Each structure stands twice: as C-alpha cells, then as structure tokens.
Structure 1
Amino acid sequence: MKKILLVSTAALTIFSTSAFHVSSVYALEKQKITNTLLDPSNKVKDDASQLVNAVVATFKDIKGHWAESSILTSIKQGIVSGYPDGLFHPDNKVTRAEFLKLTLVSSGYEVGTTNGGTWYSLYVTTAKANNLYNESDFPSSDWSKPMTRLEMVHVAVRAIGKTAASDKEFMYIAVKNGLISGVGDGKLDPDGTTTRAQALTVIDRINKVRNGETLKVDRVALANAEKVMNAKTDFWGHVIRTTDLPKNAKNYPYILEEYPNEMYEMKPYKTIDTNSMQLSKTDIAFNSKPTLDMWKKTTESYYDQILNVDYRTINETWATKTFSYMNQSNRTTLAEMKRYVKWVKDNKIVISGSLTAEPSMVMRSEKRHMYFIRSKFEFTLKSFTKYDEVMFDQYFKAASIKFKKGKKYEGYVDIPLSTNANDYDMKVSAATSFFDFGSVVRSAE
C-alpha cells in the first residue's frame, strides 16, 4: 500500500495551486485510489491493468480522451492526479509554474526543500539553474498565468538538450523533434493556452526523446514551422502575410497570418478616430514595444480574471487582483467586484475562457483621450444557477444573444485603455465590455 500512497502524494503536489487545498485532494485520492486497488485482505493488486482500470473508473472524464494514454502514464508515474470533484479535468489550463514543476519532476531533477517563498519558487530557481528556463522566455514573471504553446515550447526544447536563437526557431525544433503537433490543420498557434492534457502529452514526449526514441512528426505543422522560419515577422515573431488581405488593410501597418480578415474588418467603435496605421507614423506609445507589451499584458491579465472564475475557489483576492489591472479612478468598482465574488459563490458560477490582445491593432479616440486594443476571445459559461450577471460585465444583460450553459462562444472586441496617472501607464477602462464598442460575439460551433 505504501507504493500507491506515495504515487498519490507525489501527484497531488504537482498541481497544488490556490484552486484546491492539498489536504482535501489527498484525502479524496487516498480513499478512492487505494480502496479501488486493494482486495478484501488489503493487499495491493499487482496486475498493471488493474491500475489502469481503477484510474479510468475514478476519473471518468479520461476515458476516450485524445490524451488518455499520456494521462494514464503520468498518473502511474505519480506526476499528476485529479481534483476533489472526482474528475481529472484534462482541458483545464496549465500555468507556467505548473509546467515547470511537471518538467522537473518527470525528468528526475532534484529540487530541494522549501525556502519559505511561494510553492513554485524553488522550481523556478531549479529550472533556471538547469537551463530549462531563461528570463527572456516569458514576457513577465507572472507564474500563475496560463502557459502559452510558445512558452511551453521554450521549456520543452531545452528539456531535450537543445536551444534556439529565436521564438520561431524554438517552434521549429519542437515540431521537428515531435514534441508538439499542429492545432487543427497544422496551425502552430503560438499564443494558444496549454491544457493539462496537452502539457502531459508534451511531458511524455520529452521523456521519450530523452530516452532516445524518435517520435512521429506532424508534417503539415513542420511545413508551417519552416514557412515561419523563412517569413517576415513582426516584433513578436508573428508571421506577416502579403496575400488575401482584408479590405481595409491600409488601416494597419501590417497584416498577420494568424488572424482572419474578419478581425481586421470589424468596424471600430464610433469614438475611435485614429487607426493603427496613423498611430504607427506619429504615436510614441504605439512605436514602443515595451509600452505595447505592457498594454497587452494588462489587458490579458484583466480578462484572465474575468473569464476564469469558480465558485468553489474564488475569494476577495480575485477582486483586488482584478481591480489592479483596471483604471482605479472609480473606487466603487472594487466594491462591485467584491459583491460579484459573493454572487459567484451564491449562484455557483463557473466560467472558463481566454483573451488575446493584439498590439498591432491598437487604435485611439482623440475625443476621449483613450487607446483601444483589438482582442480576440472565447469563453464558456460552465455553471450557474441564475442567468443574471453571470459575468462581471456591465452590458452582459444587453448582449444580442442569450448564452447557453456549457456552450463555447468567441469573438472580437476593442478593449478601451485609460489612465489617471500618466499618458502611457494604461489600465483597462472601467467602461470595458464584450457586449459594447461594436464587438462581435457568436457561438464557436
């Protein structure tokens, strides 16, 4: 029985974040897993298939999942486990800190004991000392932020003993060595977030490469990676396209391959009077990559809070953190966020989603002295008791469609940025909304 308990204990600490208390997870796992694997005389069943069957029976959302094999391998190795609700949640997002820990533990690196800092500080230090992580890999040190595919690639490539001089080279090496495959029709999707299932699949592949195996390569994705290697890119390494341009291409300094013409052609909000091309010629902020990086980070961080709430884990920290990304001239907004936290708990609200802000699509309203950053988003209202005010958005009720529980929605929006400090320390405006400013919102299906 010791062996099984050790596996559970090791697994539980991998994803021990603020979302779930380790003690409650351990209690549930010990009861479910060990009881399933013990016969009436309390002896461990040796047949490996019994373990697989027990795990699948325990975590019913694993069966038939595309990453079932990698998930089972990781559970058996004690790398990761499930959640207190008895499910594995393979499509939940993985943070930067969690992926670093997964990589270190699965590869056998010695981490040491806690030093009194955050739960992940030793893993970050160890990863850096072993050249798995470089400070230039991520645009910020926010380790609780969901890891993008590009960020994951940086760590994965270094984990197999290789490195690169640019983002596009890291992506090429990862695809060429079979560490990642394309999304859909071979798209690389560098800004896409990483799920638990995807992370464990990559971890499994890292270990196979480290053990000398040659992995299957996604040839379509490899061709796309080669194309990116040779293509002209912007400051962020995104491929600039020169064909099949949107009708209003003249309004932008360049057009990116990863965004559809629909996103470019979306009509700007009525108060916007200066387009991206005009800003690129005269605006100091638009021509400063560090400034645009800051605006991008602030916008995405704000909506990472808004689009990821869970009544089982939310507390007032959510409100104070969310408010920190917003223009703070109106202090009543913080009080409203705190009331929303209580409403989330009372109404059993669970939302998951993401937003990507595009720096090359920044526009300005000279009349309102505000910048707007065009963004794409997706969200799913997974759980709620009452439909009213499910999302913290002042125009939620005014949306043109009524959103169905469990259905994924997507769209584009111009997020307003303003400040009460100086011209370029922009925060998300309190007026922001997915359901105003001429946004596009529709079903993702």
Structure 2
Amino acid sequence: MKKAILASIAALTIFSTGILQVSSVYALEKESITGSLLDASEKVKDGASEPINGVVATFKDIKGHWAESSILTAIKQGIVSGYPDGLFYPENKVTRAEFLKLTVGSLGYEVGTKNGDTWYSLYVTTAKANNLYNESDFPSSDWSKPMTRLEMVHVAVRAIGAAAQSDKEFMYIAVKNGLISGVGDGILDLGGTTTRAQALTVIDRINKVRSGETLKVDAVALANAEIAMNAKTDFWGHVIRTTDLPKNAKNYPYILEEYPNEMYEMKPYQTIDTNSMQLSKTDIAYKSKPTLDMWKKTTESYYDQILNVDYRTINESWATKTFSYMNQSNRSTLAEMKRYVTWVKDNKIVISGSLSAEPSMVMRSKKRHMYFIRSKFEFTLKSFIKYDDVMFDQYFKAASIKFKKGKKYEGYVDIPLSTNTNDYELKVSAATSFFDFGSIVRAAE
C-alpha cells in the first residue's frame, strides 16, 4: 500500500493532468507551457507525511535546499508541481504571470472558467479583482517578464492586506513583516529576479502572516529599508547615494544606490559628446519622465525578446514583435529576424536573460543623432548545436570572449536609440549590440 501511495504521488507531481509532454524538459519562463507546469492535478491531503517523503525522494534537487519546507508546503497545497524529468528546478526564474497565479492559488481565490487570450488571463484578472496588484506596480504590462523582487514585494504586501505609497515603503513593510529578507549582508536588491524557490518561500510567509504568525525579521535588511525610507530618491523611487561615489559622479545628475561605480565609470562610446548631467540641464526629452519611461520600456522590451528565445516555442511572431521595438527605417532587419527564427529552430537555441535600462544614465551623440541609454544585463546560452550566430546581435562573433553553454554572463552596455522621424519616440537602433560601444561583458560570479 505504501509503495502504491508513493508511486501515485510521484506521478501526481510530475505529470500535470495530461498536459505536460513527458519527452521534453521545458524552462518555466515560456508562456505556452507555464500554465501546465504550475499545476498539480489534485491536492495532497494535510498530514500525508508518507506521500511528501516520496515527493522529496522523487525531486532530488529539493532535498536539503534552503527552501525545502516552503516547496513542500506549496506541493501540499497543490499549487505547484515538478518537471517531467523528475526535478523541481527551484532556481528557475518566475515570471509576473506565474507569481500571480501561484499567489491566487495559494490564497484560494475563485478563478473563473472563461478562457482568455492567454493561459494566465484569468489569474491576472482575479489578482486585480482581489487587489493583489495595481497597474502602477509594473513598469510594463508584459506578464511574461521575469518577476523582480520589488514587483514581488508589491504583490506580497497587498496580499497581507497592507498598503504603501512608494516602492521604498512597500519594501519596508515587506521586510518588517518578515515577507522578504536581504540577499547577503541585508542587500535589498530591488531589481533582482525571482526564482521558484524564492517565490514559494514568500507565498508561504504570506499565508503565515495572514494566519497571525509573527515571522523572523532580517535585522540588517530592515535597517537598510529604514535608511531607504528616509533617503532622497529619484522620479522612480530609487535611492540616491551620497557616499563612495564614482570618479566621474559629476557626469550624472545623481548616483543610485543599486548600481556599482563600475557601471557609472564605464567609458562612453567614442562619439558620445553630451553626458547625463549636461542633458539634465538643457535637453527637453531628458527632462520628461514620460519620455524616459518610454525609452526604458522600449529598450527592455526589445531585449526581453532577444534574451529569451526557445526553439521549442519560437515562431515568426517573435520577429514581428521584436522588430516593433526597433527603428523602422531598415526593413531588411525584419527579414533577418525571420531568418534567425528558422536558425533558432534548426540550431536548437535556448537563451534566457534580462536587461534593465537606467533613465538617469542617458547620453547623446550629436554626430550620430542618437541617444544612448546605459543598461545592465545578464544572459545564459542554455542550448545550441553550432556556436555561430546563437544570439541575434551583429557583433556576436566579435565578442572578446567565447561564451560557454550553460554559463551565466553579465555586464553593462550603452544601447543606442534613434528614430527616422523628427520626434522623441525613439526606438532601439539597428546598430545596437552587447559587444560594441565600449560595453563590459564577463562571466557572472
């Protein structure tokens, strides 16, 4: 009988109601498959210790993991399951849509049955109806983007029935209630992405707070959150620092806490002749927060496409969407993107990554009639057969290092923005590249 229970629970958590394809192991990020990966076909009854022990034995990467308890709690609730290869992959990234679905499921909110345009439409609608998020919580409405720690905090704080007026207040409430801890030495890491393990831990803590439990608080992180609460911030609520400044601090209107001096001190591209401080005094576009928001969103949306491709799910719409964020003057680029889609499929390419564009680090090249927005990025080339042109980047082959499969890389780059019309609705320039314009690219530690 015991063996039968263990076998059934293993099947329950690995296979999601006939939807999962057992022959493939998929990444959690992709919209077309995540709807099934987050489901269990039925809930595990409370107190069923033998089946849970079987789950730990089945998912070898759960046992001894720092989030093992929270993962098992989520499995017991029936809101999450594993992968068809028998692993749980606790360090895989979670998207905005996935986190909302997990939260809605954990809190037991009723979800409708009418199908939307995407697998997550109902969960997003349910989350909004139950005040788990506001549109202002997210810089864009792209639900397939990896969830940042700050975005997760917004949802978590709302889930315990609290409210806040700013990003720094949301973070303070979250840390004070034990919903979130710092990442080493109490660092808050607002822009860091969220893993499955982190997401499930936060959801477990949400439920404990809602049930009246007092959680342990990261004292160092709370002190940092208190400092941030009282600190001067920019338009976007990011903390401005006044100590340990970069050597060229005079080139920027302010220096942010979340970025290292290395990012500020990176040498601009040779044709850039107007720095951020100069733009802040004279440039109409730079003084406009809506314009900077648009530039940031366009840049991040473009690279969310470039840095997240999967031969198992990509199709020609990837090319159309990616091209929509680029300067439209060169139509041949669209054809090149469509050819790249075919190459991704033939070469079995899988890439995951993210980019964050910083509006306070915008510069200009009068000679090239371009603005440049400095950005922080990371990526991993997870799968490919041939190394040639793995990434859609004209200077990929010219990179100073050869990228290893499965290794994470990070860096900083000035992304060129331009337009073929006489306005400030800038798009990513066709000349853009991670491996040009004086960028820094290296293996992540």
TM above 0.5, yes or no, is yes
Within 5 Å, give how 1:396-415 maps onto structure 2. 396-415=396-415
What's the counterpart of residue 31 of structure 2? 18
Indicate the SS of the match to 2:221: helix
Q: In 2, distance between residues paired with 1:312 and 1:436? A: 30
Within 5 Å, give how 1:106-121 maps onto structure 2. 106-121=106-121
With normalisation by structure 2, the TM-score equals: 0.90
CA RMSD across the alignment: 2.8
1:357–1:147 Cα change, 3 Å: same
The answer to whether the 8 Å contact 2:293/2:359 transfers is yes
For structure 2, the residue ranges without an aligned partner over 5 or more in a row are 21-27
Q: In 1, distance between residues paired with 2:334 and 2:284? A: 32
Q: State the Cα distance separating 1:131 from its structure 2 match.
A: 1.7
Q: State the Cα distance separating 1:241 from its structure 2 match.
A: 1.0
Q: Say yes or no: does 1:136 pair with 2:136.
A: yes
Indicate the SS of the match to 1:205: helix
Per-residue CA deviation, residues 281-318 of structure 1 (Å, 9 max, x unaligned), is 01111111111111111111111111122222222222
Q: In 2, distance between residues paired with 1:47 and 1:235? A: 49
Q: Which moved more, 1:54-63 or 1:422-431?
A: 54-63
Paired residue type of 1:194: T
The answer to whether the 8 Å contact 1:352/1:382 transfers is yes
Per-residue CA deviation, residues 343-366 of structure 1 (Å, 9 max, x unaligned), is 222222222211111100000111
Q: Which moved more, 1:106-115 or 1:166-175?
A: 106-115
Q: In 2, distance between residues paired with 1:229 and 1:323? A: 40
What's the counterpart of residue 355 of structure 1? 355
Paired residue type of 1:302: Y
The answer to whether the 8 Å contact 1:16/1:22 transfers is no
Q: Say yes or no: does 1:156 pair with 2:156.
A: yes
What's the counterpart of residue 194 of structure 1? 194
The answer to whether the 8 Å contact 1:11/1:75 transfers is no
What's the counterpart of residue 280 of structure 2? 280
Q: State the Cα distance separating 1:194 from its structure 2 match.
A: 1.5
Q: Which moved more, 1:345-354 or 1:361-370?
A: 345-354
Q: In 1, distance between residues paired with 2:117 and 2:185? A: 43
What's the counterpart of residue 385 of structure 2? 385
1:422–1:84 Cα change, 3 Å: farther
1:312–1:61 Cα change, 3 Å: farther
1:210–1:21 Cα change, 3 Å: closer
Paired residue type of 1:74: A
Paired residue type of 2:126: T
Indicate the SS of the match to 1:358: strand
Indicate the SS of the match to 1:352: strand
What's the counterpart of residue 241 of structure 2? 241
Paired residue type of 1:379: F
What's the counterpart of residue 330 of structure 1? 330
Paired residue type of 2:156: A
Indicate the SS of the match to 1:180: coil
Q: State the Cα distance separating 1:128 from its structure 2 match.
A: 2.1
Q: In 2, distance between residues paired with 1:144 and 1:107? A: 22
Q: Say yes or no: does 1:290 pair with 2:290.
A: yes
What's the counterpart of residue 40 of structure 1? none
Q: In 1, distance between residues paired with 2:87 and 2:32? A: 14
Q: Say yes or no: does 1:218 pair with 2:218.
A: yes
For structure 1, the residue ranges without an aligned partner over 5 or more in a row are 35-43
Q: State the Cα distance separating 1:220 from its structure 2 match.
A: 1.0
Q: State the Cα distance separating 1:382 from its structure 2 match.
A: 1.9
Paired residue type of 1:20: I
Indicate the SS of the match to 1:175: helix
Paired residue type of 1:290: P
Paired residue type of 1:417: L
1:60–1:343 Cα change, 3 Å: farther
The answer to whether the 8 Å contact 2:29/2:93 transfers is no
Q: In 2, distance between residues paired with 1:126 and 1:302? A: 29
Within 5 Å, give how 1:43-442 maps onto structure 2. 48-442=48-442
Indicate the SS of the match to 2:413: strand
With normalisation by structure 1, the TM-score equals: 0.90
The answer to whether the 8 Å contact 1:24/1:84 transfers is no
Q: Which moved more, 1:422-431 or 1:153-162?
A: 422-431
1:18–1:424 Cα change, 3 Å: same
Q: In 1, distance between residues paired with 2:156 and 2:239? A: 22
What's the counterpart of residue 41 of structure 1? none
Indicate the SS of the match to 2:33: coil
1:89–1:266 Cα change, 3 Å: same
Per-residue CA deviation, residues 131-185 of structure 1 (Å, 9 max, x unaligned), is 2212221222222222211111111001111111111101000000010111122
1:325–1:110 Cα change, 3 Å: same
Q: State the Cα distance separating 1:25 from its structure 2 match.
A: 9.4
1:93–1:22 Cα change, 3 Å: closer
Q: Which moved more, 1:277-286 or 1:17-26?
A: 17-26
Paired residue type of 1:413: V
The answer to whether the 8 Å contact 1:12/1:22 transfers is no
What's the counterpart of residue 37 of structure 1? none
Q: In 1, distance between residues paired with 2:412 and 2:30? A: 31
The answer to whether the 8 Å contact 1:12/1:25 transfers is no
1:192–1:167 Cα change, 3 Å: same
Q: State the Cα distance separating 1:53 from its structure 2 match.
A: 3.6
Indicate the SS of the match to 1:442: strand
Q: Which moved more, 1:112-121 or 1:393-402?
A: 112-121
Paired residue type of 1:75: I
Q: In 1, distance between residues paired with 2:58 and 2:304? A: 30
Q: In 2, distance between residues paired with 1:80 and 1:276? A: 45
Q: In 1, distance between residues paired with 2:94 and 2:37? A: 20
Paired residue type of 2:106: S
The answer to whether the 8 Å contact 1:25/1:84 transfers is no
Q: Which moved more, 1:117-126 or 1:303-312?
A: 117-126
What's the counterpart of residue 39 of structure 1? none
